[in-house]
Structure 1
Amino acid sequence: MSDAVATPVPAAANAAPPTAPYDLREGLAFAAVSVLLGITQGLGVNLVNVNLTGVQGALGVTTTEASWLTTAYYATNISASLLLTKVRYQYGLRRFADIVIPLYLLLAVAHLFTQHLGSALLVRAALGLAAAPISSLAVLYMVQAFPPGPKVFVGAVLAFAALQLGAPLSRVISEDLLQIGQWQGLNVIDAALAILCVAAINVVRIKPMPTQQMFAKGDGLVFALYATSLALMCVVLTQGRLHWWSDTPWLGLCLAGSVLCFGLYVAIELPREKPLLDLRWLVSPFMLRFLGATLLFRIILSEQTTGAVGLMNTLGFTNDQMHPLFLWITAGTVGGFLLALLALPSQRFGVLGDIALVLIIVAAWMDSQSTVLTRPHDLYVSQTLLATASAMFLASALLQGFSNVIAGGMKNIVSFVAVFSGGQALAGLIGQAWLSTLLQDRQRLHYERLLEHMQLSDPLVVQRLAQLGGAYASTLNDTAARSQQALALLAQQVTQQSYVLAYNDLFRTVALVSTLGFLVFAGAKTHRWHRARRVAQADASMAPAASS
């Protein structure tokens, strides 16, 4: 996720008051460009990430080597939001848009000519940097599609909905793209959308915003430390489960380097008069609660990609066989954002997070009943609920964060942009790494337990082997060969069953963590309510004494 999250407020707060009445046709044009930019950004990050198997075949690399494409993208994308937000405020929005979108187009075209892993990694890293501001522009265009006032928050929520559509849609269209042009097929759609974006931002010109001085002496050094720390952490999180955490010494070196760079960054940043990030504000009680909730939600919401989709892949289903499931997920995402709009009049944004947690608990518990006979249509309800919960949480976090930033006079807007956008992406990587590691541990455990109860002298095992070997009776006359095939099939079935049991453990863990999170949040809210009530009672009791 990029820096989209925190951009609507400055657009609404700093833009000059309009001198002309609201134009509906112009508003619809701004909204259309916003949707185009949102889908472009979403497909740009997800088309490759969800099709690494097809990409590795086209590039002639292993699964582990292909995973570096994901690492390269996030290593630059997560830290880019901080730098590019400052660039946008200092040099102006129009100039910013005129530079970053053509740059994205050039890199998307360069993707078409990458034939080797090395060049693909370089282009992917550059694309991660260039793609970071696209989501910001998507939000700003949608905000300007509405008249000034409270409705800009509606625009922010709808823009976020457009940004989330790329993930499920990438799985719907990717199979056809791979068949048409393999690796280049995925890149063609990126280049085509980038061309449309260049045309759109030149036809529908975004309204200018006031500029301000954003950079200070020493920013280069602290940003280098900040970006290096996040890049090394991305390497650890994306490669740890593939190379295994405790078996690869260079992962430990990357982790140590990340901690060292971050420590140096904090040590240099804290005494500065104009820091890149306001670290003291980030450790305020509200932001600590906010970041804790964000981390929790992004981790458990990784259940959808790591859990449900992974289970279907394990059972032999590919993306083209799950098109209806992804369309339901898309519908749930849009529905969740629309439901979030209902909380705008009351400003009770925290309720959205509570409802989202309940939906996640229900969805994860439903998925935990999976078997080897589970099919994509069995996940329609649970995954739609999970997509709805994800959208409601993102909208809740967006609105709560903006409210706090506005109450503080907008001085922490850049810090909020960088931490929320980077934190969302980093927490998603943490969630995928944790759930994938949990899955592998539980799969090994279940596989060993299943084998313990399977002896070749067991009549049930003998009967099962005879059934499996009978399938080859018409093609194999050799009894020994049929026995070998039967043993191989039985081993595959045991492995598959162990994975299904491991996925059920994963779903139950998500449900348990979500339940604990709900109880903690409920307890914290109850404590704050009682404390506010005691303060109010104390003030009321002191008022008569003061008057007398």
Structure 2
Amino acid sequence: MSNQHVAAAPASTSAAPPAPAPADPWNMWQGLSFMAVSLLLGITQGLGVNLVNSNLTGIQGSLGATAAEASWLTTAYFATNITASLLLTKVRYQYGLRLFADVVIVLFLLLALAHLFTQHLGSAIAVRAALGLAAAPISSLAVLYMVQAFPPARAMTGAVLGFAMTQIGAPLSRIISEELLQNGQWQGIHLVDAALAILCVAAINVVRPKHVPTQKMFARGDGIVFTLYALALGLLCVVLTQGRLRWWSDTPWLGVCLAGAVLCFGLYLVIELRREKPLLDLHWLASPFMLRFMAAILLFRIVLSEQSVGAVGLMNTLGFTNDQMHLLFVFVTVGTMAGFGLALLALPSRRFGLLGDAALVLIMLAAWMDGQSTVLTRPHDLYLSQTLLAAASSMFLASAMLQGFGHVIAGGMKNLISFIAVFSGGQALAGLVGQAWLSTLLAERQRLHYGQLVEHLQQSDPQVVQRLAQLGGAYAATLNDAAARGNQALTLLSQQVTQQSYVMAYNDLFHTVALTSTLGFLVFAGIKTHRWHRARRNTPAAELPATSS
């Protein structure tokens, strides 16, 4: 979580979004209908991104592509999806929520149907990039529908539940994907996308979103600035998703893409800092609170990649596929919902920072538990740890959203645009950074462990000879040639050594995540302690609580 985006707020940071119209009296049945539409939109968005990203191995066969070539499906989706939120939310405020919802969901439906007719990798990548653009605002609509399901006084409860709806698709995609691939391959996956899109079109036309006042949002120069912004993030997505597969130092064009990203982003900064109505308020983003906020997003998304890169990767290495891990992902779904439930319990006290602290502790515990894995580890051994990790992911998401929105509201809502742009795109980009780093760490540690294991395997070693005899004995009934049995035994031993080296590398990955989480917890605790002492020093003595002598 994987990875899920919220459409960015309007592009003008000099003025707050238009004030909402007077609220109609709350109706319970209307609220339930809004909740149902929110759930449908959230599942549609979640499955739209995760059904492909979670099943690249199965999809590449139907498209006749290699693993590296199929990875471009993920690259294309994120390259457009991360940057589209900012532009599309400007459109939403410019032309109204109802028209925006109608156009977006119909476009999503058309692209989902287009997937059914793609037979080659090139056309699939093009449609996937277009779908990333169309899907960007779906999660935003899911949250908005859930917010409108509650009375205005309970808007934050609706926001938390709305984000919860967008998280269900990730584990659900792994539960249903095997049957879809077996029955329809590439097209089977997108039949579900198309069917859900049709349901969304019907639902949005039956349950109309409430009217939101429009406002002129586009300014001179937006096109040039947004192009540079989109190119920079798109090229960075290419580097992060392709570097770990094609290897960083072996692919010169990755360096060209990275240099292009730096150049585009530099030009964007130069132009943006001189504009009266910038896309993002860069000065506010450089404030201490937002720097801490962005650091927290980066830290959490890196360590939360433990689930997709670590736990799922370990199970795949040991020979387990998604259909053999159904119950594991059921537990992940339960943990996800439990995390949001705990966030709702924290709403009255408004101590949202404790949610983030507790999430780090849960990640530490889960990573330490996973770090005890062996070649005999099975999916049921990960039920508890992955449930805790899923709960931690939800708690962090809720904590970040609640703290961030609280800070924006305290500032008069004028920085809502910049906050949501960072909150949506920042999480997805940080997730790609986490996956790239942990995948690179895994590859390096696996090579190291494999070399160390092979170094100690000598055919003159009695234990090695005995092991080869045992492995060759399994072919005694089918192979009469002793030399052939010996070759088969060597092959099996090499496979076992490779598997053991991977398990050791995954344990290193889990330990690294646990250590990173611990360091992050200590750093954030130190920052909070420093701020508390500074506030206490700046408080007049008369205002300090009295202490007994």
Range into which the TM-score falls when normalised by the shorter chain: over 0.9
In 1, Cα distance between equivalents of 2:16 and 2:281: 21
Q: Does 1:61 align with 2:65?
A: yes
- Does 2:513 match 1:497? no
Q: In the alignment, does 2:274 pair up with 1:271?
A: yes
Tell me the equivalent position of 1:14.
19
Q: Match of 1:86?
A: 90
1:502-541 residue pairs with structure 2 within 5 A? 502-537=505-540, 540=543
C-alpha offsets along residues 63-100 of structure 1, whole Å, 9 cap, x if unaligned?
Answer: 00000000000000000011011111111100100100
Question: Which runs of 5 or more residues in structure 2 are unaligned?
Answer: 545-549
Alignment of 1:348-359 (within 5 A): 348-359=351-362
Number of the residue aligned with 2:409: 406
CA deviation digits over 1:360-415, x for unaligned, max 9? 00000000000000000000000000000000000000101100111111111111
Pairwise CA distance, 1:537: 3.1
1:323-359: per-residue Cα shift (whole Å, max 9, x none)?
Answer: 0000000000000001111111111100000000000
Tell me the amino acid that sits aligned with residue 62 of structure 2: A
Mapped pair 1:457 → 2:464 = no
Q: Report the secondary structure of 2:250's partner residue.
A: coil
The offset of 1:161, in angstroms, is 0.8
Question: What's the counterpart of residue 95 of structure 1?
Answer: 99
In the aligned structure 2, how far is the partner of 1:315 from the partner of 1:13?
A: 54
Letter in 1 for 2:21: A
1:16 offset after TM fit, Å? 1.5
Q: CA deviation at 1:12?
A: 11
**1:25 counterpart = 2:29:** yes
Q: Deviations over 1:124-147 (max 9, x none)?
A: 000000000000100000000001
Matched, 1:329 2:316: no
CA apart distance, 1:231: 0.4
Secondary structure of 1:3's partner?
coil
Aligned: 1:206 with 2:219: no
- Match of 1:544? none
> Do 1:3 and 1:85's aligned partners in 2 also have CA atoms closer than 8 Å?
no
Do 2:372 and 2:507's aligned partners in 1 also have CA atoms closer than 8 Å? yes
Give the Cα–Cα distance (whole angstroms) in 1 for the partners of residues 16 and 229 of structure 2.
26
1:388 and 1:264 map into 2 onto residues whose CA distance is 40
Taking a change above 3 Å as real, the CA distance of residues 5 and 331 of structure 1, as seen in their structure-2 partners, is farther
Q: Equivalent of 1:487, from 490, 500, 507? A: 490
> Aligned AA for 2:299?
L
In 2: Cα distance, 1:26 partner to 1:417 partner = 27
Contact 2:76 2:128 in 1 (8 A): yes
Matched, 1:230 2:230: no
Distance 2:345 2:543 in 1: 34
Query: Shift of the alpha carbon at 1:539?
Result: 7.2
**Counterpart position of 1:284:** 287
Q: C-alpha distance in 2, partners of 1:272/1:250?
A: 33
User: 2:547 aligns to what?
Assistant: none
Alignment partner, residue 309 of structure 1: 312
Distance 1:15 1:459 in 2: 79
1:70 aligns with 2:74: yes
TM-score relative to the length of structure 2: 0.96
Residue of structure 1 aligned with 2:429, choices 423, 426, 429 = 426
- CA distance in structure 2 between the partners assigned to 1:520 and 1:243 by the alignment: 34
Aligned partners of 1:86 and 1:414 also within 8 Å = no
AA of the residue aligned to 2:19: N
**Deviation, structure 1 residue 22:** 1.4
Match of 2:47 among 43, 64, 78: 43
SS at match of 2:375: coil
Q: Which residue does the alignment assign to 1:546?
A: none
Counterpart Cα distance in 1 of 2:269 and 2:227: 12
Count of aligned pairs between the two proteins: 537
Between the aligned partners of 1:232 and 1:219, the Cα distance in structure 2 is: 20
3-state secondary structure, aligned to 1:212: coil
Q: Within 2, Cα distance between the matches of 1:364 and 1:13?
A: 45
CA contact (8 A) 2:85 2:421 kept: yes
Partner-residue secondary structure (3-state), 2:140: helix
| Counterpart code for 2:23 | P
